[in-house]
Amino acid sequence: MSDLTDRQHRLLVRLVAEYIEQGEPVSSAWLAENSGLGVSSATVRNILAHLEEQGLLRQPHTSAGRVPTDSGYRQYVEGLLNQRRRAKDPRQIETRLRQAGTVSDILDNASQELSRQSHHIGFALSAAPSAQLQHVDFVSLDARRVLVIVVSAGGHITHKVVETDEPHDAARLSEAANYINREFAGMSIDDARAAVARRLQEERVLYNALMSRALQLAQSGLNEISPTHNVSIQGTSAFLDGLSDRDERMTLETLRALFRMIEEKHRLLELLTRYVNTDGLTIVIGSEHEQPDMHPFSLVASTFNDGSRSATVGVIGPTRMRYQKTITVVDNLSKAVSRIL
């Protein structure tokens, strides 16, 4: 965040809030009259010029007022987060969500509620609990190719052919598989994957060829198992209804790119995997997105993880979104979904 004085910050907040509401550049004359700072138009103009130099505002036309940049939105949102109040009682939302039966139904209801309240695209996803690792087998196909078979709870089987640097024989492969099963069988797939990765970092592994090969083969097989997700995305029509011709970054091409991502749900999962590393709120604004297609949009999401199941709920909307309301809506829904799941 930029180093701003209290007066500069208050003026920026007032400008961003007005621009979000009206979608028009905000003039210094309007701010002098409505900011509540009791300063002259000349002082306001000096402050705005400083904020523009800081990259927090821009002037679309020479004679026009200012509009926030993505950095200006970020400064505004950080201020909202610092003074955010917790919801008093989101039980009404929770009651509506509990009317659903399955996890999929709960996520559908949550994404609909998010879209209804925010007028943006609402999404909800939950990763299914990781299955338990039962055992692995290493089968020699020829001198330098091994078939790695991973069996998890419920009889689910995955396999992968791995090219090896050195020749191997069936007896050594059986010994390697026995080592993996002895050390890791009974763990969840996620825990086993993490434990194998940690074990590979240990110095003693480097000096034990059998152990090293066993762990490398097991890692190849475990990495083939992708977590399964329930995903619900709702509200494209509500999103379009909420747009206006003042949303200057919303071209037909940017909307097409967004809707393509929604149709291909795995792309939304990839997007969230990049951003959501910890529990709690994640907010990505405009050009903070790695993908240029997403620069006209902001994402507000909240994630929780109770140790056995994780879920994320959130919205995607234009950068000119009502952040204060959106953050509250997402936060409330996340708390309700976490209690139900």
Q: In this predicted model, what pLDDT tens digit does every residue of 165-178 receive, in sequence order? A: 888 888 889 999 99
What is the C-alpha R_g of the chain?
26
Class for the domain spanning 6-82: mainly alpha
Q: Same fold for the domain at 6-82 and the one at 91-128+228-340?
A: no
Q: Distances in Å between the alpha carbon of 207 and those of 135, 164, 165, 178, 181? A: 25, 18, 17, 19, 21
- Which pLDDT tens digit goes with each residue over 37-57? 888 889 999 999 999 999 999
Length, in residues, of the chain: 341
CATH number for the region 91-128+228-340 comes to 3.30.450.40
DSSP 209-267: HHHHHHHHHHHHHHTT-PPPEEEEEE-HHHHHHH--TT-TT--HHHHHHHHHHHHSHHH
| pLDDT-derived band at 206, boundaries 50, 70, 90 | low
> Domain extents for the chain?
6-82, 91-128+228-340, 133-222
pLDDT for the residue 91: 65
Question: Does position 330 have pLDDT exceeding 90, yes or no?
Answer: yes
| pLDDT-derived band at 100, boundaries 50, 70, 90 | low
At 313, phi and psi to the nearest 5? -125, 155
DSSP 133-179: EEEEEEEEEETTEEEEEEEEGGGEEEEEEEE-SS---HHHHHHHHHH
Mean of per-residue pLDDT scores for the chain: 85
Count how many Cα atoms sit within 13 Å of the Cα of residue 110 in the half-sphere of its side chain.
36
Average pLDDT over residues 67-83: 92
Average pLDDT over residues 251-259: 85
At 135, phi and psi to the nearest 5? -165, 165
Sign of CA dihedral 191, 193, 195, 198: negative
Class for the domain spanning 133-222: alpha beta
Question: Does position 308 have pLDDT exceeding 80, yes or no?
Answer: no
